[in-house]
A = this chain, B = another copy of it.
Amino acid sequence: MIINDVLNEALQLYKPSQEEEKHLMDLANKIIHRAEKYSPNYKSILKITLEGSLAKKTWIRGREEVDIFVHFDSMIPREEMEEQIVELGFKILKDLDGKPRLMYADHPYVEGRINNVVVNIVACYYVTPPNWLSATDRTPYHTRYIIEKMKPEIGDHIRLMKAFMVGCGVYGAEIKVRGFSGYLTELLMLNYGDFIKTIEAISKWKPPIIIDIEKYYDSIDEVLKLFLNQPLIVIDPVDKHRNVASAVSEQKLSELILASRLFLESPSIKFFKPKPPIIRLSSIRRKVGKRKLIGVVFKLSRWKPPDVLWGELRKSEEAVKRTLERLGFRVYRSDSWTDEEKTCIILCEINNDKLPYTRLHQGPPVYHPNSLEFIKKWKDNPEREAGPWIEDSRLYVLRVESVVDVKKLLKKEIEEGRVALAKGLIEDIKKGKITTSIENLMRNRKLRSFIYEFVEASLPFI
């Protein structure tokens, strides 16, 4: 059957070999060994464990990560735990030549890279449910839950599902993606049974979707009331008050639904393979043609963890978009990109790069005290083109638009602080550049692929 051929091919691509597994487990053991060597120096450290996809044997090739958890006594204050995990993490990763870097999710952890494998050294409190003290305390319970419930033959199906999500661009709970986490994917598989059943179920999803594996709740209404306005609700088997899918955006959820429908209609390996990036200048130029883009390009004055940076970027993108709409432009689409080191861009496609020569300006209703002032202000105003006239009960004038160029207009709004940019980026954006020239943008080679994807705006699986 063709669908099984596709799945076998995908498994070839993504299922790690025994050698690869051994290599990763050796690395994990080496780190744990090292951690156990240092931990007696910290009297609050109770144990060191391997967590995440490696512990559950559900990782896929290309997404290898070693998650080492350091369990602290629940009596130690938060700040001390944070200090100690940073110190310990740096020591271990330096020993192993792992280029340690301080990261922040809900609390600090240390990330490194050894032989091109991402290593995370994370602190958690050693607690029993539901007495969570920090966001990472649940993770060991998640690992244990999946290992206990997972039938051996389901491992491949989880890997297929993760590979499918990677191929369709919806995998990852980080703010950059706002998609499906590994744990969430594993729960979906436990709930539906195998890859095809899961895809079939997803293809029929219509939000809101509720999945409550442990049947903690008796009624749908109860769940909906508790998790208001969340399109996908997957009750955490380890904590009935938590929605494992709370980070999933409506967009990524919809993309997965659509991908599932399309895959069932005509299964193909392309759903598992991201398209190669296109960076030929001529292709991009031809694609852009007469369309109107505006980009805000800026340099980061200091490094920050990707989740922080992407959060700030998305907020600023939304603010730029709203400002353009407020100024009178139609924003068809917007997106952001960053190399996560130095360069950022907020890019919008707009209907026009100039405003019309005139603008309708609404005044108060005639019976409002200010209406006489409005008339005085506009009667002999050189910016008046027509009016004041009355429509229904309101005064209107048609005024000259003194500045019509989108670049100048947006620049002024940013300079004068009328754009709700993320605080952490305001200064960098003010020093940045606003351009409507595709050539200016494409001088940065790394940006080209992003720009092509932006102007093509096609889903990876179509």
| Residues of chain A having any CB pair with chain B under 8 Å | 205-207, 231, 250-251, 253-255, 257-258, 261-262, 265, 289-292, 330, 332-333, 349, 351-352, 356-358, 360, 365-367, 371-372, 375, 379, 385-396, 398, 455-459, 462
* Chain B residues, CB < 8 A from A349: 386, 398
Decide: A387 and B458 in contact? CB cutoff 8 A: yes
B258 near A360 with CB under 8 A, answer: no
In this complex, what residue of B is CB-closest to A334? Answer: B391
Q: Which residue of B lies closest to A206 (CB)?
A: B367
Contact A372 B261 (CB under 8 A): yes
Does the CB pair A462–B375 fall under 8 Å?
A: yes
Closest 7 CB pairs of A and B: A386-B457, A351-B356, A258-B366, A206-B367, A254-B366, A254-B393, A290-B357
B residues less than 8 Å from A291 (CB atoms): 357-358, 385, 398
Pairwise interchain contact A257-B367, C-beta atoms closer than 8 A: yes
**Complex Cα–Cα for A292 and B398 (A):** 12
Asked if A250 contacts B358 (CB within 8 A), the reply is: no
In the assembled complex, the Cα of A242 lies from the Cα of B443 at a distance in Å of 74
Q: Do A292 and B356 contact each other (CB < 8 Å), given the known contacts A372-B265, A458-B388?
A: yes
Find out whether the CB atom of A367 lies under 8 angstroms from the CB atom of B205. yes
Q: Say how far A198's CB is from chain B's closest CB, in angstroms.
A: 16
Q: Are B358 and A332 in contact (CB under 8 A)?
A: yes
Cα distance A394–B205 when bound, in Å?
14
Residue of B nearest to A253 (CB): B393
B-chain residues with CB within 8 Å of residue A257 when the two chains form the complex: 366-367
- On whether the beta carbons of B457 and A387 are closer than 8 Å, the reply is yes
Chain B residues with Cβ under 8 A from A379's Cβ?
462
Q: Known contacts A367-B205, A379-B462, A388-B459: does B250 contact A393 (CB below 8 Å)?
A: yes
Q: State the CA gap A358–B291 with chains docked (Å).
A: 7
Between-chain CB contacts (< 8 Å), 21 pairs: A206-B367, A251-B390, A253-B393, A254-B365, A254-B366, A254-B390, A254-B392, A254-B393, A254-B394, A258-B395, A261-B371, A292-B356, A330-B360, A332-B360, A332-B398, A333-B386, A349-B398, A379-B462, A386-B456, A387-B457, A398-B457
